[in-house]
Structure 1
Amino acid sequence: MKSRKLLLSLAVFFLVGIFVPTYASPVLGTEGEEENPVKEGWTSIGPNNVSGRVRSIIFDKFNEGVMYAGGVGGGLFISVNDGLNWREIPLGQGQTSGYAVTSIAQDDEGVIYVGTGEGFYAEEGNATGLSHLKTGLAGTGVYKMQLGAQGKEWAAAFSTDEQKYEYATSLVMNRLEATVPVLYDLTSEWTYINDMLCVGNTVYAATQMGGLKYSKDGGATWSAVSVGGSTMFNVTDIKVSKNGKVAIVYKNGTEARIAMRAEGDAEVFNDIFSKSLVADYTENDMINRIELAFGIKNPNVMVAFVYAYKMTGEGGYMVDGSIYRTADCQAENITWEKASPSSFYAGYDFNTSMSIAVNDLGEREYIYAASAVLQRGFDANNSPIYYWEQQTSYLDPFTSGIYVAPNIHCILFDENPQTAEDSLRIYLATDAGIFMYGTDPVTQFTQWHFRNKGLTSSQYYSVAAAADGSVVAAGQSNAISYIPTPSQDGLKSAETIWSPNSDGYSSYIISNLSSLIESQSGTAVEASAIHMTSPSVRKPFVLSRPNTIVARTYSDGNDYTTVNDQTWTFSGANPLTLMHANVVSGATNAPFVTPMAYWESFDAHDISKDSVYVVLDSTVVLRNGDRTRAYRTGAYLYDGDSVVVQSNTLGYPFFYEFTKEQYGEVDRGGEMVLDFFPTQDTAVLVVDPVQTRLYLSGAIGTFVCPEIMNFTKTYTSGMHYPDIIGWAKLCRGADSTISLTRPFHVLAPSPDGDALLVTIDVKASQGTPGQTKLLRISGINSIDYSISQCTNGDVDRVTTDTLATFDRTISSIVFDKKDNNSVIITFSDYSANTSNVMRSTNIMAPAGDVVFENIPLTDNNSKPVFASLIECMNPNNTSCAYIGSDDGIYKTENYKAAQVVWVKEDNVPNVPVYDLYQQTANRPKIQFKTYLSNNVTENVFEATKYPGAIYAASYGKGLFMNMDNLVEGLPEVGLTDVKQQAGQTSIRLYPNPAANRTTLNYTLSSSSRVTLNIFDMNGRLISTMDKGNQSAGSYAQIIDLNSLSKGVYMIQILTSNSVETAKLIVQ
């Protein structure tokens, strides 16, 4: 019989109306968690094993095994067991608290001093906010420990680690009032403290804006050191030798120099290293940064790690990182010798990470120098040029024993080792926490180990949550963190996924060492509301790293740690490629934090360009109201009959409805039936209402992928839509692929899917101040992807309007999902006169009519704001909104009010919050069967676990979760477990399990033709019996089991009105 395929625009609706209710009453608990009710407000969910940037680590001079570490954004931490685990020591209280720790020092009385404010990254032009490279956090001053009753040798008074932690974490760290910077004044002398040092009981603070400060009264008052007649300069490093020599590195204009303190005078420092004093440099060279170290056993040895741009013979410059050494820093005229060959390599980004140390406690002197990697040098042949060996790698797997994260800021040895193991240990402070070189207790091999347990200082740019409540977050230098089961009752560990060190993953775009190191970071994440657990696990995420490196994954059996080419698609030279080549063109010039947005709809009937076939055969079950019946060839179809269809988006189910409006009706024997009589192999092409889109900005434009969750498609050059995944270009934007004068920053799709708000940063140049342009791209729902070429020609098929130009950087835009015309816009700059939050309630108006209104902040309009969210799930909220600032999260009950009141949320530290994410899906659990020939497949899609939950990504204290807006989940839907109604059948097997035979009892509610089938668990038809027509009533059928092997089988009864199954176990 000839097959018919019909393309019909018929009504499509969802499973028995269950997807309609979006809002429900807030609840305080979820099923299965009665003993652990949901906590109110914000709670930290960790992770407890992932650390962010650590710039300083020291040993306690008076307590064996005690160490201190400073996380930039994470605060001050202490370990009482040589770094095996860590606990936080709070700095200050309330508004005086501090977290941007950059330096730690201890005086001779055992008092700890902590400096805050990261000046190295502030030099890159974006001192405080989320930039497209890294973030430099402004400081809050110097903190001083108040010793307790046990004095400076307190650890000896306690026998257990827990007792030591309890005592140490109770010690008060007060902020020194004389060091409090002017709030939001980046030129304040105490905003950035690069380093601290104690010489006896004199405390030094190396600041970026206020030069070198010192105090002789415990920090009550401070004086400034003069170098070259000036006290206002940038001091980047300060060190003291065992014999009391103090040396600093400071910036004289743009040139880094070393100066030594004169004998007997704390206020006079003289240059000992500069371009004019070292023969290797010319006047045209530029020395940008220097790090210092003294010998331990021989304190007259000083070494310097020098980063410079050296002029080449062709008039250009080359990056040079060299090691210099002097053996007699006591001499009046110090002679420096170069100790590194021209081939020496320790990294590339010395502005943000350099460190050096000398270990001469043994028979041989070793110099350790690091930036991206750690190098060890020693005198191998009595030559000034040392022999160098690389000690770490950031490319090897995490379990390799040589992996250490790049960007190494500090190298530490135990200068008073008590055991051979103490002598062996080396500690490194990196962008991904602390690593220790030592003996593995299991293998007894010496190798590098993570030492981040409890050092909760992870720095995240983005967060998203899947339907099962699992969380993914994109972290600085930590790739993607995946927490499978976050909890409010304790911090959980995270798995690090999709890093360059993941097993099986190597084919990604890398053009230079810069890209290689930056690819250690994750920058953006998105999550789908779909979670399938049968017949296989499918839980999709979209992940990104710097320079438009993007992947999508639905996991490999719920495992995201190992890359699997069957489930991953990414940019690069791989058969499974995700993106059109134009999307990644000029990728190394793309923004560091990839601008990315995800749009998902389960009800996109009117805008869908996608379609899927439904085949009408004997496996199809029709529903109409409360009735269900099996489809039979030649049977009539009635108005309102519907059938389950699987979408192209991971097979997610929806109902397709046959209606008289589309087909018309005819009279057949006194009843009205549809004027549509499908044959045995009729296939109907229906609109797929389950739609997903990924918006992405690269170096040369903004693009959209209309079916990002269709994992059956990838991009292959030369193939055409619909055989490959489609891409369209929406906006040009950038001037060129070489110079990012116009980088994209923020993308925000409208709830209805038809518009996209895009921001483009126009950087300042030649006296012209920087600007941000806000564009609106509309008409996206009408794009014909079959003719899209992912080129500039696509841009002409949408409408682009410039809505506004601002003199500051837009950091986030969020639509009100209940109001397609309303948005909140935030800005990340320090602005004393204008609020960094705005709103528009007519964003879809003609471009010239769009109105933007300032929403003043309650406490300080200068406050930078990085993230925003309009709550849309709790029916008790009308216009509730949240914002993430540099000191936590603020909430307003009505962002549309004439006088908006922002209230700071409790339980979130005073750290930057860069992303706010709400689980806006509320999907039920769905179970149904599908049939292919005689194979039966059980399909299960899980319910949304925490509908309404809000998540926050902080830059320094990890991730937070808020369940105040949870709504009730929707009831489970079992499309195969239908209660018996008119025309249906009930069945029962006894005995079950059975050995030789069993009896199938079934009851027909009306006369029907009956067929009995037996399937094994692989879906193979084992036996069939046609019982012919039977009247309404009860029947018993004996089934002989002697020919069946032991195992599980499915017994199926087919009638004219229903399909029923029962499980049989043969013993």
Structure 2
Amino acid sequence: MNIKTITIGILAATLTVGGYLVKEKFSKTQSVYTPRSITNGGVRGNAGYAEYLLMLKADPATGKIDYNMVNQVRNEVMARSKQNNKAALGLNWTQMGPDNVGGRTRAILVDRFVANRVYAGSIAGGLFVSNDGASTWNPINSLEGCMGENLAISCITQTSNGRIFFGTGSEFESPFGTGGSGFVGNGLYEYVPSTGSVLPVLTNPTAVPNNSTSVQLSFVNAIASKGNRLYLATKDGMVWADPDGSGFYPTVFSGWTNPIEVISGIPETTTCKDIDIASDGSMLVCFSGKVYTSLSDGLGTFTSSGHSGSRVSGAIAPSNPNVYYLLRSQGSLKGIEISLDKGNTWNVIVPAGSPCVDPFMQNDCTGAQGGYDDAIAVDPSDWGHILVGGVQLYEWRYASGSNPIGGSWLKAANLFESSMNPYYVHADKHTIVWPTASTIYIGSDGGVAKSSDGATTWQERNLGYNVTTFYDAQCAANGWFLGGAQDNGCQLFSYQSFGEPSPKGTTEISGGDGFDVAFSNQGPGIAYTTSQFGYVARFAGGGGGTFYDPELEALVAAGQPFHTVIENWESNNDVTSVDSINVVFSAPDTLVGGQTYEYTSLSNGSPLFYTPSSTIYVTTGDTIKVQDYIQNRFALATSAGVYLTRDAARLNAINPEWNRITTSAVGAIYCMEFSADGNHLFIGSNNGIRRISGLNLANDSLGLDIRSGSSVLTISLPSTVSGVVTGIASDPNNIDNLIITVGGYTNSSHIYKCTNATGAMTLTQIQGTGATALPKMPVYDAEIDYNNNNKVIIGTEWGVWTTSNAFTGGTTQWTDESCNGMTHVPVFAVEQQHLRSNHSVNSGYVYLGTHGRGFYMSGDLFTAIDENENNITNNSFVSNLSVYPNPLNSAGTIAFDLKESSPTKIKIYNLTGSLVKTIDLGTKAKGNHKIKFDASSLSVGSYLISLESGAERKVAKFIVTR
């Protein structure tokens, strides 16, 4: 195509929107993406998180999670898995990290018999093992695939004969009184290292009475062992059992013994919180508001004493079995106590309300959450030296001879997040394991931390520990992807472009509790992140920050819902755009008909093209109005309604304009989705689903803001469902098709389709029937395949499920798609790259954001790239780095330009993130370079090539064909 740029003879290019001059709104600066931690200063608290999980999983009629329903679904899923039915789409998954972040960990065990072997259990990602003292981790493979039950591991122990047992489910995930934990367990299991097997020991019965909503083994708060006897802290008290002559433990709850009595003949059946056993066999067992002590564990031997606090935890000194400690909380600290005589008498060493020591408080002394994060441990070599963890980590040392008993307190770690900070331990400590005087392990919301010098310094130990809990995942055209994670901010996967320590490592580009995320392909490296309470940041250039207007900034500062919901839409060829650009000529000129001329978009100076149908003769002062067809829309849900900006991707917009497009009457919003043409925004809430239409008709506040009196938008009445709308998928090829997902463990339908989304919005349930029906579990997100709308992928509480007949009109059939490469982990986000192969390196690839096992990716829906689609260097993610010919066969040339002389390497990755080739070029001089390389060892397929030279990292794509 013969293209000319409109520059000669032009006096000025005046940018107009809706007839109003907005030139002063823009600067000429443009940026390139660089990660930098941005936080809103908000605390990372558990209350909002627990309430949000409860909303996703509870029965809306009761506000509680039906544990019986959970058990029924678990049994159905596992029964379906045993049938070995062929999956509808046959997707193969690759785990994509992050393998350097970790996630919530409540259980750590140091093997007593195998040197350097450590186990860690996460609340949703299952069991992991390390054979090098937590330097690297691997998942237990028997928990993978369709037959793997993804266990919410709460506690772990080892018997005297070396057997490994772990409990599942924890009531501590939820604030007391809110309806139960979002991570429901299924009793007690054994891991057998010699075979790699995980065996059920004591689990909930297959059949539970229909009127039961409280299953006994939905959580095991603690586990301990004495000899080969096992002790469990359950909702019905503490119970113990011995193995029989064949090594088997009782498989029904009634076969276990409850030795604690409130009074003679009346067992203690309230929820047990913690169990501790001394080296001499004496015991300390904790309940809400009281503890029991015993010199053994025989019936009638336990003595109780009152100790206030909704959560009470204990610890016994390994070096002195007479020394007991208690950590009591009711959100904030209720007190820390010590006994030197096995619990007969107690001394308070930190009282309630102490301003100097409260491990459950944030740095600003707010947000106490002792019911959630609570840990205490004693130095095995010094009975007067303890660590106490919650949000913070404190250390206490006994002052010898003090009377009353006292000592000195020291904050043992801080919350400044940096892998270079030797004093950092992630917030929310759940367990402290202290096997030797110098070696300490901590399980927290950030995974595993280790000290090798007795709590002087700390190191994160998460390499391979892929248990991050994501709410969302989105992908970019260059193959990068981004997710918002609970308590781990927003994590960017960039193929080590920013120096991540491992091939599947990520960089945290914003902090807090990360929620919805998005990319823009309309500028260099634009990414959007969120954190709790309405905080939104845009990244591009040397960092990032908010882009609110004053009204929205004040609204966010006043407080917003915990879960921040955003949605982004963009098009590089919006034929309906009403934006225009006035080109003013300062001298006569001729625009020849059929000739293409280049001009500049409002969006970051991107090139636009205009081809007059006939020759135009212009004189001085003439103006031509041309369409700006590069458009974006960005929506943010608030308590006052939904706000929308058309300036999110316009980095040159100094003051982005936001307009309110709904009122608060839409309800509590949990998801949003634009139609493919950008004209409609669908909103999912606790009140059903609504549609905002007419977004293509306006480009200013008069037409968009519902308060203007002249808004062109229309808001539909809600289409209701039974439950909270958790996800909406719009057909990329037919704006009338939607898939709607619904949360909750209920007998209602959890998935619907709509074939008239721009009209009356009639919803039809597609749960299915019989053996191919979708189990009645929470469904969190959906994606309609960009080539075949009958193919639908959904994220559920029990992994990924798919259908190949979503819109055929027949009964929808669902199959478990979690068999190959992943497991039955909660999947909160499903995202497919809809850009075609000439505009992205990952066309058709599907990405999952799981709540417990990080990211997964599948390329099985990728559409083969036509060899004519080789104009890759026009893509925005390529920056003076190119490969040719492209596609290539067995050899190619890499062309690039260096800004300065520096050591240079070329790394080639496949699209699963594996490094397949490294070319060390040594030190290259400043300027242009062309390097030939051998590709004969590369298999047919698509590859990413990364240029690393000094501080520069650039990425391009190439294809190998044969």
Q: Name the TM-score, length of structure 2 as normaliser.
A: 0.74
Indicate if the aligned counterparts of 1:140 and 1:181 stay in contact, CA closer than 8 A. Answer: no
User: 1:147 deviation in Å?
Assistant: 5.9
Which residue of structure 2 aligns with residue 995 of structure 1?
Answer: none
Which residue of structure 2 aligns with residue 103 of structure 1?
Answer: 155
Per-residue CA distance 1:201-252 (angstroms, 9 max, x = gap): 11122123x432322124334425254335543222211111212222224x
- For 2:765, which of 853, 856, 862 is the aligned residue? 853
Give the length in aligned residue pairs: 767
Indicate if the aligned counterparts of 1:694 and 1:706 stay in contact, CA closer than 8 A. Answer: yes
- For 2:234, which of 207, 213, 237 is the aligned residue? 207
Indicate if the aligned counterparts of 1:98 and 1:140 stay in contact, CA closer than 8 A. Answer: no
Which residue of structure 2 aligns with residue 296 of structure 1?
Answer: 318
Compute the RMSD of aligned alpha carbons.
3.5
Indicate if the aligned counterparts of 1:60 and 1:106 stay in contact, CA closer than 8 A. Answer: yes
- For 1:69, which of 78, 96, 120 is the aligned residue? 120
User: 1:635 deviation in Å?
Assistant: 5.7
- For 1:547, which of 522, 529, 533 is the aligned residue? 533
Indicate if the aligned counterparts of 1:90 and 1:97 stay in contact, CA closer than 8 A. Answer: no
1:696-711 matched pairs, under 5 angstroms = 696-711=636-651
Return closer, same or farther for 1:92/1:639 CA change in 2, 3 Å cut-off: closer
- For 1:733, which of 651, 656, 664 is the aligned residue? 664
Which residue of structure 1 aligns with residue 562 of structure 2?
Answer: 592
- For 2:282, which of 234, 237, 245 is the aligned residue? 245
Indicate if the aligned counterparts of 2:330 and 2:370 stay in contact, CA closer than 8 A. Answer: no
1:608-627 matched pairs, under 5 angstroms = 608-614=577-583
Tell me, in whole angstroms, the C-alpha distance in 1 between the residues paired with 2:693 and 2:566. 17
Return closer, same or farther for 1:1047/1:366 CA change in 2, 3 Å cut-off: closer
**Paired residue secondary structure (2:640):** coil
- For 2:415, which of 394, 397, 406 is the aligned residue? 394
Indicate if the aligned counterparts of 1:702 and 1:729 stay in contact, CA closer than 8 A. Answer: yes
**Which is further off, 783-792 or 700-709?**
783-792
Return closer, same or farther for 1:4/1:80 CA change in 2, 3 Å cut-off: closer
Which residue of structure 1 aligns with residue 777 of structure 2?
Answer: 863
The structure showing larger relative contact order (alpha-carbon pairs under 8 Å, at least 6 residues apart) is 2
Amino acid at match of 1:642: T
Which residue of structure 2 aligns with residue 497 of structure 1?
Answer: 508
User: 1:682 deviation in Å?
Assistant: 5.9
Check if 1:961 corresponds to 2:915.
no
Which residue of structure 1 aligns with residue 249 of structure 2?
Answer: 219
Amino acid at match of 1:895: A
Per-residue CA distance 1:804-843 (angstroms, 9 max, x = gap): 33342221111112221221111120012x2211112122
1:472-483 matched pairs, under 5 angstroms = 472-483=482-493
Which residue of structure 2 aligns with residue 776 of structure 1?
Answer: 691
Tell me, in whole angstroms, the C-alpha distance in 1 between the residues paired with 2:156 and 2:297. 25
Return closer, same or farther for 1:146/1:437 CA change in 2, 3 Å cut-off: closer
Tell me, in whole angstroms, the C-alpha distance in 1 between the residues paired with 2:197 and 2:446. 27
Indicate if the aligned counterparts of 2:773 and 2:812 stay in contact, CA closer than 8 A. Answer: no
Which residue of structure 2 aligns with residue 485 of structure 1?
Answer: 495
Which residue of structure 2 aligns with residue 997 of structure 1?
Answer: none
**Paired residue secondary structure (1:585):** helix
**Paired residue secondary structure (1:582):** helix
Check if 1:747 corresponds to 2:672.
yes
Tell me, in whole angstroms, the C-alpha distance in 2 between the residues paired with 1:807 and 1:268. 51
Check if 1:356 corresponds to 2:376.
yes
**Which is further off, 395-404 or 366-375?**
395-404
Return closer, same or farther for 1:946/1:657 CA change in 2, 3 Å cut-off: same
Tell me, in whole angstroms, the C-alpha distance in 2 between the residues paired with 1:795 and 1:137. 48
Tell me, in whole angstroms, the C-alpha distance in 2 between the residues paired with 1:646 and 1:268. 84
Return closer, same or farther for 1:1048/1:544 CA change in 2, 3 Å cut-off: closer
Tell me, in whole angstroms, the C-alpha distance in 1 between the residues paired with 2:15 and 2:548. 29
- For 2:796, which of 885, 908, 911 is the aligned residue? 885
Amino acid at match of 2:744: D
**Paired residue secondary structure (2:185):** coil
Return closer, same or farther for 1:799/1:903 CA change in 2, 3 Å cut-off: same
User: 1:264 deviation in Å?
Assistant: 4.9
Identity %: 22
Tell me, in whole angstroms, the C-alpha distance in 1 between the residues paired with 2:169 and 2:873. 57
Return closer, same or farther for 1:249/1:7 CA change in 2, 3 Å cut-off: closer
Return closer, same or farther for 1:945/1:680 CA change in 2, 3 Å cut-off: farther
Indicate if the aligned counterparts of 1:322 and 1:344 stay in contact, CA closer than 8 A. Answer: no
Per-residue CA distance 1:380-434 (angstroms, 9 max, x = gap): 48243432111111135331211111000011111xx4xxxxx322211110101
Tell me, in whole angstroms, the C-alpha distance in 2 between the residues paired with 1:62 and 1:107. 11
Indicate if the aligned counterparts of 1:77 and 1:88 stay in contact, CA closer than 8 A. Answer: yes
User: 1:552 deviation in Å?
Assistant: 0.9
Which residue of structure 2 aligns with residue 994 of structure 1?
Answer: none
User: 1:679 deviation in Å?
Assistant: 4.1
Tell me, in whole angstroms, the C-alpha distance in 1 between the residues paired with 2:215 and 2:175. 14
Indicate if the aligned counterparts of 1:103 and 1:114 stay in contact, CA closer than 8 A. Answer: yes
Which residue of structure 2 aligns with residue 824 of structure 1?
Answer: 739
Indicate if the aligned counterparts of 2:601 and 2:608 stay in contact, CA closer than 8 A. Answer: yes
Q: Name the TM-score, length of structure 1 as normaliser.
A: 0.67
User: 1:373 deviation in Å?
Assistant: 1.0
Return closer, same or farther for 1:679/1:391 CA change in 2, 3 Å cut-off: farther
Consecutive unaligned residues of structure 2, counting only runs of 5 or more, are 1-8, 18-89, 361-367, 876-896, 900-925, 930-962
User: 1:789 deviation in Å?
Assistant: 9.7
**Paired residue secondary structure (1:581):** helix
Tell me, in whole angstroms, the C-alpha distance in 1 between the residues paired with 2:928 and 2:375. 65
**Paired residue secondary structure (1:781):** helix
Consecutive unaligned residues of structure 1, counting only runs of 5 or more, are 10-38, 129-134, 149-169, 276-286, 310-318, 418-422, 501-518, 532-537, 557-563, 571-576, 618-632, 661-673, 715-723, 736-741, 762-771, 925-942, 977-1015, 1019-1045, 1050-1067
- For 2:219, which of 189, 192, 201 is the aligned residue? 192
Amino acid at match of 2:357: F
- For 1:139, which of 185, 188, 205 is the aligned residue? 185
User: 1:851 deviation in Å?
Assistant: 3.8
Indicate if the aligned counterparts of 1:864 and 1:886 stay in contact, CA closer than 8 A. Answer: yes
User: 1:963 deviation in Å?
Assistant: 0.7
Tell me, in whole angstroms, the C-alpha distance in 2 between the residues paired with 1:295 and 1:6. 76
Tell me, in whole angstroms, the C-alpha distance in 1 between the residues paired with 2:449 and 2:207. 35
Which residue of structure 2 aligns with residue 324 of structure 1?
Answer: 337
Tell me, in whole angstroms, the C-alpha distance in 2 between the residues paired with 1:974 and 1:80. 45
Per-residue CA distance 1:739-783 (angstroms, 9 max, x = gap): xxx53211122222222222333xxxxxxxxxx332222222334
Indicate if the aligned counterparts of 1:181 and 1:188 stay in contact, CA closer than 8 A. Answer: no
Indicate if the aligned counterparts of 1:92 and 1:175 stay in contact, CA closer than 8 A. Answer: no
Check if 1:176 corresponds to 2:201.
yes
User: 1:590 deviation in Å?
Assistant: 2.3
Indicate if the aligned counterparts of 1:591 and 1:744 stay in contact, CA closer than 8 A. Answer: no
Return closer, same or farther for 1:580/1:838 CA change in 2, 3 Å cut-off: farther
Indicate if the aligned counterparts of 2:837 and 2:863 stay in contact, CA closer than 8 A. Answer: no
Tell me, in whole angstroms, the C-alpha distance in 1 between the residues paired with 2:408 and 2:558. 34
Which residue of structure 1 aligns with residue 601 of structure 2?
Answer: 647
Check if 1:260 corresponds to 2:277.
no
Tell me, in whole angstroms, the C-alpha distance in 2 between the residues paired with 1:108 and 1:219. 15
Check if 1:758 corresponds to 2:683.
yes
**Paired residue secondary structure (1:803):** coil
Return closer, same or farther for 1:686/1:293 CA change in 2, 3 Å cut-off: same
Amino acid at match of 2:800: I
Return closer, same or farther for 1:954/1:851 CA change in 2, 3 Å cut-off: closer
User: 1:730 deviation in Å?
Assistant: 1.9
1:421-460 matched pairs, under 5 angstroms = 423-438=437-452, 447-460=457-470
Indicate if the aligned counterparts of 1:438 and 1:448 stay in contact, CA closer than 8 A. Answer: yes
Indicate if the aligned counterparts of 1:357 and 1:368 stay in contact, CA closer than 8 A. Answer: yes
Larger Rg: 1
Tell me, in whole angstroms, the C-alpha distance in 2 between the residues paired with 1:973 and 1:306. 61
**Paired residue secondary structure (2:357):** coil
Return closer, same or farther for 1:125/1:783 CA change in 2, 3 Å cut-off: farther
Return closer, same or farther for 1:861/1:802 CA change in 2, 3 Å cut-off: farther
User: 1:6 deviation in Å?
Assistant: 9.0
User: 1:460 deviation in Å?
Assistant: 1.0
Indicate if the aligned counterparts of 2:13 and 2:583 stay in contact, CA closer than 8 A. Answer: no
Indicate if the aligned counterparts of 1:300 and 1:329 stay in contact, CA closer than 8 A. Answer: yes
